[in-house]
Structures are given as structure tokens and as C-alpha cells.
């Protein structure tokens, strides 16, 4: 099987561009209820798997021992914009561990948040690791590392922190990983089939009260602004869903969703890695499964008309499945 046509981009009534990919929707019984393309092929989910990487933080008792709240759990799953609402809590979190910015291993990143970015430019300051979109995930890694008593290079694949992440990954996916690659934040990212990722999201969807899966899922839905940021698809879709979905983007056209009321997990991968296609496909799936309304602005922004710089409608981005 090959990638299936998932998204079309039109101009002047004609299809100008197309995006192919893979979709898996899995139910509470672990059954594939909708598969498109080749969802059994392995791929890197990138940041769409951050809630899985955060599982050991909660399962180990490290989060409870450090009295982490839902805000910190949401940040542990985040790909944030580097706004003050993201960087300051991460800095406070590490300070409570008696650690600082130098203990992170994610690397500096210019923030996507415009006020934060302009603030750095106007003061001629350089971005730091707190601005990295993965700094919350890495704060979670450092919390787990403090609990386990590991060495400082917690990002290395053979470190106890990453071995705990791998064990949790294979456990919840119910599938052995197909190797790993190094992510943008220097942590390993494991390859799994799109179906396995959807299976993992379904387990998050039906997780028992008090479980690590339930705590992380609900933290994401309670604090959508921490998971991404203003103007971002994850934040806007979760706000619109009003507690009916936790969604998470990943680099190179990956997206996952957790639908608790339906007991479903969704994963999708756009073959050419395009974000606009992943967002459009996810918006369409959330509409299909009754989480979002077709006319909600969070949907129309991803599945709807395209305008030019004079605000003239010139085409549309639309699902093709």
C-alpha cells in the first residue's frame, strides 16, 4: 500500500497542489476502524508523541513526589511558542529542582511567540533553552532524572530516562519500536507504525481515573494555551473542543488526537511533511467524529478558503478523503 491522497489545495477552481499520507483511527478494543494509506508502516511521530514520553514522569511517582500540578504536566507534553506563559513556569519548575537553564539539553531556540521574539531583538539578547519549544518536556525529563538519580546527560538513548521512555512507548503502543532518530531537541524519537500511535492514543482516551494517561490527557485539555500557544492549531482546536479532545502536532506533518467520549485514538502522517495538510486532515477528522463543528473558526482556519494579501479569496485547502 502507498500513501493516499488526503488533502487538496485549489486555485481558480482547479487543484494546484496535493498532499498524500496515512491515517489510523483505533477504538478502545485496539481495532483499526479507519485506515487510509499505509498506516502499518513505521514513521517518526516527533512531538506528537510527547504525552507518551511524559508517561514515566507520572508512572514513576516523580511527578507526585515533586508536587507537580496540571500546568507542569501540560508543559511536559508541550511544543510551546516560547511565550512568557511558557518560559517562566519552566524556569520556576527547574529552580524548584535546584537546577537551571544550563542543565537542559534541548538547545536554544528563537521563540515563535511574537512579543517574546521582538523583545529579544529589541534588547539584542539571544534566545536560551527556556525558549525551546521542548523545554517543558525536558523539565519533565530532568524531574524524572532527579527521581532516578541518573547522570546529567539524560537525553542520551541509553540513559535511564530515555530507557524508561522507550519502555513506556512500547508498552502503550503494544508494538516494538523500529529504531530511533534524534529529534530537534536532541532526545531520541522512536519509530512506530501510525496504527500503533493511534492505538496508544485510544488507551489515553479510555484511561482509568487516576492513571498517568488520564492525568496527562486532562492536563492537556485543561491548559491548551500551554501545550502550544496563541494562533496554534493544537491550542485552538482543544479550546473549541471544550474538553472533548486532546490533540498534539508533531514536526514533518504528524498529528495525534485523543477522543475520550468516543473512546478513539487518531494518528496521521503527511508523506511530504507539510503542516497545512496535517492540520486540515486533523480538522476534518475531528469534525467527522463529532468533536468539532464544521463552521468553527478553528476548523475554517485549516479547512477552508485561502485569501491573498488583499483578502481576496483565491482557493481553498480541503480534505480529499
Q: Where are the domains of the chain?
A: 4-319
Q: Could you give the angle at which helices 275-288 and 233-241 cross, rounded to 10 degrees? A: 10
Residue 1 pLDDT: 65
Ranges of residues in the chain with a pLDDT under 70 are 1
Q: Could you give the angle at which helices 114-123 and 84-96 cross, rounded to 10 degrees? A: 80
Task: Locate 287 and state its grid cell.
Answer: 469534525
Task: Locate 313 and state its grid cell.
Answer: 479569496
- Distance, CA of 175 to CA of 170 (rounded, Å): 5
- Distance, CA of 292 to CA of 226 (rounded, Å): 20
CA angle at 221 for the pair 31 and 297, rounded to the nearest 5°: 95
CATH of 4-319, one of 3.40.190, 3.30.2420, 3.40.710, 3.30.1380: 3.40.710
Question: Which DSSP string corresponds to 54-70?
Answer: THHHHHTSHHHHTT--H
Q: Cα torsion at 130, 127, 239, 39 (round to 10°)?
A: -80
Residue 165 pLDDT: 98
Residue 50 pLDDT: 98
Amino acid at each position: 500500500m502507498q500513501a493516499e491522497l488526503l488533502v487538496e489545495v485549489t486555485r481558480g477552481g482547479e487543484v494546484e497542489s496535493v498532499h498524500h499520507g496515512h491515517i489510523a483511527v483505533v477504538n478502545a478494543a485496539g481495532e483499526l476502524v479507519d485506515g487510509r494509506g499505509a498506516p502499518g508502516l513505521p514513521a517518526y511521530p516527533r512531538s506528537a508523541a510527547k504525552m507518551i514520553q511524559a508517561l514515566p514522569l507520572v508512572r514513576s511517582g516523580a511527578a507526585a513526589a515533586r508536587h507537580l500540578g496540571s500546568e507542569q504536566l501540560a508543559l511536559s507534553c508541550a511544543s510551546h511558542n516560547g511565550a512568557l506563559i511558557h518560559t517562566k513556569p519552566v524556569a520556576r519548575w527547574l529552580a524548584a529542582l535546584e537546577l537551571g537553564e544550563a542543565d537542559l539539553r534541548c538547545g536554544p531556540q528563537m521563540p515563535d511567540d511574537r512579543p517574546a521574539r521582538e523583545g529579544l531583538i529589541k534588547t539584542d539578547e539571544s534566545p536560551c533553552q527556556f525558549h525551546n519549544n521542548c523545554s517543558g518536556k525536558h523539565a519533565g525529563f530532568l524531574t524524572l532524572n532527579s527521581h532516578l538519580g541518573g547522570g546529567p546527560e539524560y537525553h542520551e538513548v541509553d540513559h535511564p530516562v530515555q530507557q524508561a521512555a522507550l519502555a513506556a512507548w512500547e508498552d502503550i503502543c503494544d508494538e516494538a519500536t523500529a529504531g530511533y532518530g534524534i529529534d530537534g531537541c536532541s532526545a531520541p524519537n522512536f519509530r512506530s507504525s501510525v496504527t500503533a500511535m493511534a492505538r496508544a492514543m485510544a488507551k489515553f482516551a479510555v484511561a482509568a481515573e487516576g492513571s498517568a494517561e488520564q492525568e496527562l490527557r486532562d492536563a492537556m485539555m485543561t491548559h491548551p494555551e500551554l501545550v502550544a500557544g496563541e494562533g496554534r492549531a493544537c491550542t485552538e482546536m482543544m479550546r473549541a473542543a471544550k474538553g472533548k479532545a486532546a490533540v498534539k502536532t508533531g514536526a514533518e506533518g504528524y498529528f495525534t488526537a485523543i477522543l475520550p467520549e468516543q473512546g478513539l485514538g487518531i494518528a496521521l502522517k503527511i508523506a511530504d511533511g507539510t503542516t497545512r495538510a496535517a492540520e486540515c486532515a486533523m480538522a476534518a477528522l475531528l469534525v467527522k467524529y463529532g468533536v468539532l463543528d464544521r463552521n468553527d473558526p478553528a476548523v475554517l482556519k485549516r479547512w477552508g478558503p485561502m485569501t491573498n494579501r488583499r483578502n481576496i479569496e483565491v482557493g481553498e485547502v480541503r480534505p480529499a478523503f
